[in-house]
């Protein structure tokens, strides 16, 4: 690991334009479940088709709204981990920095990141399912997921929906365009904690590689991004990102 960490740190230290691209794995050590991990992942325990699609919401808004409110409540009970904090610091050291996340929690923001590009939306930006008017956040429920009737839009009365991207829905175009632009111009893109399975988000690290930038991957497991990565740092991000930050700063 030392050799690969040194190689990654040299890439980061000499990069002018740095992008960090994250998935659920960066929040795992905060206690937020990932999606596809055996036994603990959300999609291992719940059926995505019954919870994360527009059809599911139309069919049973209370089931879907209750599940996302449970996920929001969970996100509020946990804290950013050293990986989130190191990511903020690594970007602060760069001349030009962009943080792109697939995550819908607010842990990057709570770790001091600003201007975060949320490709899949956020648990903290509910909106009207009909007129898209932003809605206020209600007090988060406690306990396990249960059915909660979504509140009505105060303008048109339609049910409020989570501000997240569901399967079959387009990603917010402004976020995706900005993310592709940042990835295309990046000297280094650090991909952290993503299985690289869900497109178009999974395309982001590949854009950097295609444009000649260096991709560094941080993940305890191999992923389809392995061949795209210049350096693969195998391990948990709460350990690796702080080590990468230390190694990339000039030794005092």
Q: Which is nearer to ligand OAD, 11 or 26 (CB)?
A: 26
CB of 99 to ligand OAD, least distance (A): 14
DSSP labels for 8-70?
HHHHHHH-SEEEEEE-THHHHTTT---SSSTTTSHHHHS-HHHHSSHHHHHH-HHHHHHHHHH
Tell me: cis bond preceding 200? Omega within 30 of 0 counts. yes
CB of 120 to ligand OAD, least distance (A): 5
Picking from 71, 99, 104, 102, the residue whose alpha carbon sits closest to that of residue 85 is: 99
Q: How many angstroms separate the CA atoms of 213 and 196, rounded?
A: 18
Q: Which is nearer to ligand OAD, 136 or 170 (CB)?
A: 170
SS3 at position 163? strand
Nearest-CB residue to ligand OAD? Answer: 25
Q: Which is nearer to ligand OAD, 61 or 193 (CB)?
A: 193
Residue 51: phi and psi, rounded to 5, are: -130, -30
The site for ligand OAD (CB under 6 A) is made up of 23-25, 28-29, 34-37, 41, 52, 102, 120, 165, 193-195, 197-198, 218-221, 223, 236-237
CB of 244 to ligand OAD, least distance (A): 12
Q: How many angstroms separate the CA atoms of 147 and 67, rounded?
A: 7
CB of 2 to ligand OAD, least distance (A): 19
Cβ proximity of 205 and 190 under 8 Å:
no
Active site residues: 120
Residue 187 CA neighbour count, 13 Å, CB half: 16
Q: Which is nearer to ligand OAD, 10 or 239 (CB)?
A: 239
CB of 64 to ligand OAD, least distance (A): 12
Q: Which is nearer to ligand OAD, 17 or 34 (CB)?
A: 34
């Amino acid at each position: 690991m030392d050799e690969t960490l040194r190689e990654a740190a040299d890439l980061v230290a000499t990069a002018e334009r740095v992008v960090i691209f994250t998935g659920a794995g960066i929040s795992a050590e905060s206690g937020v479940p990932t999606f596809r991990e055996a036994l603990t992942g959300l999609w291992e325990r719940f059926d995505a088709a019954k919870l994360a699609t527009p059809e599911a919401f139309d069919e049973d808004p209370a089931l879907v709204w209750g599940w996302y409110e449970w996920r929001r409540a969970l996100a509020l009970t946990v804290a950013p981990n050293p990986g989130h904090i190191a990511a903020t610091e690594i970007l602060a050291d760069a001349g030009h920095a962009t943080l792109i996340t697939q995550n819908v929690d607010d842990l990057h923001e709570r770790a001091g990141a600003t201007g975060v590009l949320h490709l899949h939306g956020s648990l903290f930006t509910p909106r009207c399912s009909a007129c898209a008017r932003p809605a206020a956040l209600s007090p988060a429920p406690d306990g396990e997921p249960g059915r909660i009737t979504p509140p009505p839009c105060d303008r048109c009365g339609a049910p409020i929906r989570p501000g997240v991207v569901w399967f079959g829905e387009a990603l917010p175009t402004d976020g995706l365009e900005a993310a592709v632009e940042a990835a295309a111009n990046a000297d280094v893109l650090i991909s952290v904690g993503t299985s690289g399975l869900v497109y178009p988000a999974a395309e982001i690290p590949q854009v950097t590689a295609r444009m000649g930038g260096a991709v560094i991957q941080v993940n305890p497991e191999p992923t389809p991004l392995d061949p795209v990565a210049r350096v693969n740092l195998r391990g948990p991000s709460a350990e690796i990102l702080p080590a990468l930050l230390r190694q990339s700063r000039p030794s005092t």
